[in-house]
């Protein structure tokens, strides 16, 4: 083989490597977990919106009708790229995904959430990682460098909680943004027991870890340990009430 042909071959190999291993983008197959059974019962038309930052830093939203199928995306290789899968109803396609009281997302972080056990590595989103990925995504939108965060340890801290959504995410975000985050900054939001007039049915709140509470008759529904702030109270037959939990009072509003 001539020297010129060898040189051309090495140039081609370098070009291919620079476009894959050394390029700014990672081509990733994302797997969305199955929703909790009571979500599927309440929302037969449930689908997902995959939210992530592309290699240029722009927020992308991809509709996913079938959570069991792998979805190929291009995400940044800068490190600790959060990816979120927001549940939404097909009939509410223009609804704001992260509004207060909406169903909470599953999440993952590239590359910490990669599973290389199969023939092709895939990024596995989990309900347990939704809150941690939400915190990192908020940091990204503020222009912070998430590659400086120890994402593996952050995921471990959040997974240690039975329900990560009861944590004070804003405080954790502030500490991470300032570079002062420690395990001592993981605090739960203030909470209190709440009773509302919801009517008979099977009820649950927006967290995927919320248990289903059955209520018969017109007695008040007891909801123990709700954090202060806005919550969605859903029934398995499709009803929705918004609950604003204050330190002393509770306001409710029927949506449907």
Residues 209-249: tens digit of each pLDDT: 999 999 888 889 999 999 999 999 999 998 999 999 999 99
Higher pLDDT, 166 or 96: 166
pLDDT at 17 > cutoff 80: no
pTM for this prediction: 0.85
pLDDT at residue number 20: 40
pLDDT at residue number 13: 33
- Strand locations in 103-249, DSSP E? 106-110, 114-115, 122-124, 191-196, 201-205, 213-215, 221-227, 229-235, 240-245
Residues 93-104: tens digit of each pLDDT: 555 666 777 999
Higher pLDDT, 116 or 92: 116
Report in angstroms the alpha-carbon separations of 14 from 9, 17, 18, 21.
9, 5, 6, 10
State whether residue 149 is helix, strand or coil. coil
């Amino acid at each position: 083989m001539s020297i010129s042909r060898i040189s051309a071959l090495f140039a081609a190999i370098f070009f291919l490597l620079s476009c894959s291993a050394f390029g700014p983008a990672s081509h990733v197959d994302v797997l969305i977990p199955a929703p909790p059974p009571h979500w599927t019962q309440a929302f037969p038309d449930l689908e997902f919106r995959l939210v992530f930052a592309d290699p240029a830093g722009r927020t992308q939203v991809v509709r996913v009708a079938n959570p069991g199928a792998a979805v190929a995306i291009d995400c940044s290789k800068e490190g600790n790229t959060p990816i979120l899968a927001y549940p939404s109803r097909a009939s509410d396609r223009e609804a704001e995904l992260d509004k207060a009281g909406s169903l909470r997302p599953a999440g993952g972080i590239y590359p910490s959430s990669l599973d290389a056990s199969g023939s092709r590595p895939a990024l596995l989103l989990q309900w347990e990682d939704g809150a941690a990925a939400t915190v990192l995504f908020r940091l990204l939108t503020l222009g912070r460098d998430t590659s400086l965060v120890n994402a593996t340890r952050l995921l471990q801290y959040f997974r240690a909680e039975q329900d990560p959504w009861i944590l004070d995410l804003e405080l954790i975000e502030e500490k991470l943004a300032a570079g002062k985050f420690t395990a001592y900054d993981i605090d739960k939001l203030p909470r209190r027991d709440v009773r509302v007039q919801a009517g008979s049915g099977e009820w649950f709140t927006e967290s995927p870890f919320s248990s289903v509470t059955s209520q018969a008759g017109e007695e008040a529904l007891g909801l123990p340990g709700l954090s202060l702030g806005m919550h969605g109270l859903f029934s398995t037959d499709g009803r929705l009430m918004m609950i604003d939990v204050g330190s002393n009072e509770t306001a409710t509003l029927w949506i449907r």
